[in-house]
Amino acid sequence: MPAELDTKPTEPTERLAEIRVRSPLSIVIPTYKEAENIPPLLDRLERLRVEHEIDLEVLLMDDDSRDGSVEAVRDCGYDWSRIVVRTADRGLSQAVVDGLGLARHPVVVVMDADLSHPPEKIPDLILALESGQEFAIGSRYVPGGSTDDDWGFFRWLNSRVATLLARPLTDAHDPMAGFFAFRRADLARAKYLNPVGYKIGLEIIVKCGLENVGEVPIRFTDRVRGQSKLTFREQLKYLKHLRRLYIYKFRYLSSFGQFAAVGLLGLVVNLAILSALVWVGVPEATAVAAAIAVSMMSNFLLNRRFTFGYARGGRVSTQFLGFVGACSIGALINYAVTLGVISARPSWPVQVAAVIGVGFGTIFNYLTNQFLVF
């Protein structure tokens, strides 16, 4: 099997005709007012099924189009296809998520109904999975891939900018694509899927942590029948979706940032309380203890509210004891590392050793709080 399917064009599909798609395949197709496109799409899938001897099921996830889609599927008479009419929680991505929940076969393909995605490329997608990729995209943006010539400049630019914005999330060249294949078992790697808008493929890549993404070049053909439902409003939802995905992908980095910020604020609280108590004449030893207690409490409350906000439902007393316990061990680590640096590098200013000690203590505190306390 070629290992370089990643970004290079594969053999033309005609030359791969002898490939048998060994795994039974579920194809999930979101549909909304696609009655005219359904028969030609199902006919092309039937040809593919026969040619490659595919054990196939096709799920058309329809948002109650009432345009004859149900009748169109019935009249085609293919026993491997069925249409599911959805009346709640409408939208392309949710329709796909529901379809994935109904799919029975180990490998899943998702594609549009409007014939813009060539079904004949499905064996190439499966080949990419079989040669080790976790996720295979029918891609417009790898060598050999293309879009119809009448894609205006602004649609092209729009698509490229959207792709660029997703770059920190995945290396894929066409993560916006709605034509892709993956192993259904990999869905278990996502705690949840909650896409907004159209980009269900990107959602699956990020939430399932799929790193190994292959791309098979396709020609994206503009639909001939019916209308695109990709409105400006849907495109704005992409920004909201991106924000969620960034927070998800870089969650440890951002929550560590919040933890560190709360820690800095705690230092300010500590110094303010200490100065105020000493100023009113409280003995220093008592003032230091009180400042530590108050700053620890404020750190706990802020971390519980923001850094680990997801754990707000837990018992406060247990969490507080865990927090204090973890931070006490963190303080000992801070102390030991600081002394270690002082003895290993006596020429360094003691403040540098202290900062290194604080760094280690903070990382320890963060990890124990993240994984054991909240």
Q: Is 113 in the site for ligand GDD (CB under 6 A)?
A: yes
Q: Output 68 or 314, the one with its CB closest to ligand GDD.
A: 68
Total length of the chain:
374
Buried-state track 84-100, b at ≥16 Cβ within 10 A, e below 16: eebeeeebbbbbbbbbb
Residues 6+ apart with CB under 8 A from 11: none
Q: Helices 38-52 and 69-76, interaxial angle, to 10°?
A: 30
- HEC per residue, 225-238: CCCCCCCHHHHHHH
End-to-end CA separation in angstroms for the chain: 46
Tell me how far, at minimum, the Cβ of 181 lies from ligand GDD, in Å: 14
Find out whether 115 and 41 touch, Cβ atoms under 8 Å: yes
Which of 25, 32, 56, 274 touches ligand GDD by CB under 6 A?
Answer: 32
**What residues does 338 pair with on adjacent strands?**
none
Stretch that binds ligand GDD, among 101-109, 223-231, 238-246, 293-301 (CB under 6 A): 223-231
Residue 30 or residue 357: which is nearer to ligand GDD going by CB? 30
Site residues for ligand GDD, 61-100, by CB under 6 A, read 61-63, 90-92, 95
Residue 190 and residue 205: Cα distance in Å, rounded? 9
Quote the tokens at residue 271. Answer: 């110094």
Binding mask 281-320 for ligand GDD (x = CB under 6 A): ----------------------------------------
Going by the DSSP 8-state scheme, the letter that residue 17 receives in this structure is T
By beta-carbon proximity to ligand GDD, the closer residue of 105 and 223 is 223
Which residue lies nearer to ligand GDD by CB, 228 or 275? 228
Q: Is 114 in the site for ligand GDD (CB under 6 A)?
A: yes
User: Applying CB under 6 A, does 203 fall inside the site for ligand GDD?
Assistant: no
Separation CA 56–CA 119 (nearest Å): 13
Tokens of residue 120, six digits: 């004949």
**Does residue 219 interact with ligand GDD by CB under 6 A?**
no
Residue 198 within binding range of ligand GDD, rule CB under 6 A? yes
Q: How far is CA 172 from CA 54, 202, 206, in A?
A: 27, 9, 11
Considering the complex, what minimum distance in angstroms separates the CB of residue 90 from ligand GDD? Answer: 5
**56 versus 61: smaller Cβ distance to ligand GDD:** 61
Single out the residue of 228, 235, 275, 286 in contact with ligand GDD (rule: CB under 6 A). Answer: 228
Q: Closest distance between ligand GDD and the C-beta of residue 54, in Å? A: 21
Give the residues lining the site for ligand GDD (CB under 6 A). 30-32, 34, 61-63, 90-92, 95, 112-114, 116, 159, 176, 178, 198, 228-230
